[in-house]
Structure 1
């Protein structure tokens, strides 16, 4: 199981200047490679390398390994774009979003991440320093720091490339470690269903609700602040906007980490699996009013799901994905489906058997049942057949 550890570099001003010049040179070269790939249609690593490898070394002063990584980074970006187009991430063919994504070359920010392999970067884990290639020569004995438990794992299990990034004036290396996965529980004692939403970020079939009320209020205040600062457009407003940039994303990430940790810990403690809704493409399928679209699109449901998935793998907890269709309308007791079963956002009242429960909790029970249905049949790629009631 591969995980990413972020370590903070502590360079001197001279070393930081060299690192910044290196990032800028690599990303300028990547933009040149992207323009060539877009113009010629050559987007495979080997073919593109034949075309521009020498140019990158001569014009931007890149080393052999750096030039190859720049080309590979460019090809990977186009491969990711092709995958997104195939999955419908950029909308339907002919849409403005899709035309915007495909109508010009991919561009890289001046401080976008640059990959390093062991020829360009060496770790002195005992001294906790690194030696790294830059366009101004090799920089040695740059100290780094991080969480103690993560640094111990880094020293023992680091594997593959690392990415150099700059964030808010600080320098980091994203290093990959390879951890052995514990065996997955072969016989879970049922499943914990997780219903994701906006009023309640996550509701589990065990009765735990992670409320999103305070979070939504804070995010609305953040949106209002960004809008007001953009209207002012003064120098001080821009400075304040820059200070607040990324604050909401960090807060959301922290909340998702805490929720996912709680859900996985409960599943591991009780010997159960976790059932999640397959929400891929929800933004394209949802038909909501504009204020609701803003709220839906700004919450990282995919991030929360990925956090639950990787922490479950780390704990040996099985995870299944179920069809999300009609989970809010199906009765978890008699399985009667009717849109009138949910007269209000938080209320579920079955029109067939009279069962009454909080709507999100009822949906989580339905998700748990579908997860168990899929597990016992060993058909995780299939979805149950639902009875629709007019």
Structure 2
């Protein structure tokens, strides 16, 4: 606990020296310097190998506490997690209490393999109704997630109207449940996409969607849906899983991917008669709009990769 307090005040001093809290008389800096640093009762507690000992063969730990050392405390994890702990665990671990259960968060340093040269690319179009659609015609729908979120929104409105401490506790618990459910869905989608790319020796191409919420102004009844759209989390999951597998990931320009024909390159809003279908006004190519967008993303990745890997001209 002493080390945790020391690290907290060292971080505060570093922020003050670097100017992250403003000038000497700024409101943020005065507030930070005038109040002592407080820790939540259920905040995570860091332990190093002197205070917490792992015994992976018996799946037990020994923890040093203020009341003495507690030995032979059993922990549970999946076989894959146990293998990762044996091979890559580092010195520090965190102990935290969440929803009445104790968790140990171990730091693991997993080496990244070299990124291979892709034979081709898998284009991935991300959306709200379809969370992800690939150029291989794989479709990961988001209707069930939307229904789940609407149900949580109705329950959230009921608890907010109650305005009691019990209702606030249940609101926080439901918010964590909803976030865990969304994270689980994105993990499954990312795992399947990366597995296909690794098996076929291809890279993964994604749209560059950073800042899309600032560029797009949706209708009032669509604001809540777009603000909770987990596209960035899905990108993060795909990126880190691809790095562990050595699969290259490339971000391409997202403009007009769903309005451009991949055959004749004709681009027009009229090519999208409705949300789900694409029909080129020039050559007549038709199909699902998300699949067409994924194919355009794949084609842009092909051209971009050729440009990136092209050798620089040498001076005569």
Structures share fold, TM-score greater than 0.5: yes
Q: CA deviation at 1:260?
A: 0.9
Partner of 1:338: 268
Aligned residues: 298
| Whole-Å separation in 2 of the counterparts to 1:307 and 1:208 | 18
Unaligned ranges ≥5, structure 1? 1-61, 83-99, 381-390
Question: CA distance change for structure 1 residues 77 and 205 in 2, over 3 Å: closer, same or farther?
Answer: farther
CA deviations on 1:247-282 (whole Å, 9 max, x unpaired) are 211211111111111111111222211001122222
Alignment of 1:1-390 (within 5 A): 62-63=1-2, 65-71=3-9, 109-134=40-65, 136-141=66-71, 142-186=73-117, 188-233=118-163, 237=167, 240-241=170-171, 243-378=173-308
| Whole-Å separation in 2 of the counterparts to 1:194 and 1:245 | 28
Contact 1:194 1:274 in 2 (8 A): yes
User: What value does the CA root-mean-square deviation take over the aligned residues?
Assistant: 3.0
| Whole-Å separation in 2 of the counterparts to 1:185 and 1:209 | 26
Unaligned ranges ≥5, structure 2? 21-26, 311-316
SS at match of 1:172: strand
Question: CA distance change for structure 1 residues 313 and 286 in 2, over 3 Å: closer, same or farther?
Answer: same
SS at match of 2:232: helix
The alignment's TM-score, normalised by the length of structure 2, stands at: 0.83
The alignment's TM-score, normalised by the length of structure 1, stands at: 0.68
Contact 1:69 1:115 in 2 (8 A): no
Contact 1:207 1:361 in 2 (8 A): yes
Question: CA distance change for structure 1 residues 128 and 219 in 2, over 3 Å: closer, same or farther?
Answer: same
Contact 1:131 1:138 in 2 (8 A): no
Contact 2:16 2:29 in 1 (8 A): no
CA deviations on 1:34-93 (whole Å, 9 max, x unpaired) are xxxxxxxxxxxxxxxxxxxxxxxxxxxx43x333333356579999x96xxxxxxxxxxx
| Whole-Å separation in 2 of the counterparts to 1:113 and 1:101 | 25
Q: CA deviation at 1:207?
A: 0.6
| Whole-Å separation in 1 of the counterparts to 2:58 and 2:172 | 35
Contact 1:274 1:317 in 2 (8 A): yes
| Whole-Å separation in 2 of the counterparts to 1:211 and 1:304 | 14
Question: CA distance change for structure 1 residues 115 and 377 in 2, over 3 Å: closer, same or farther?
Answer: farther
Question: CA distance change for structure 1 residues 244 and 352 in 2, over 3 Å: closer, same or farther?
Answer: same
| Whole-Å separation in 1 of the counterparts to 2:31 and 2:4 | 25
SS at match of 1:246: helix
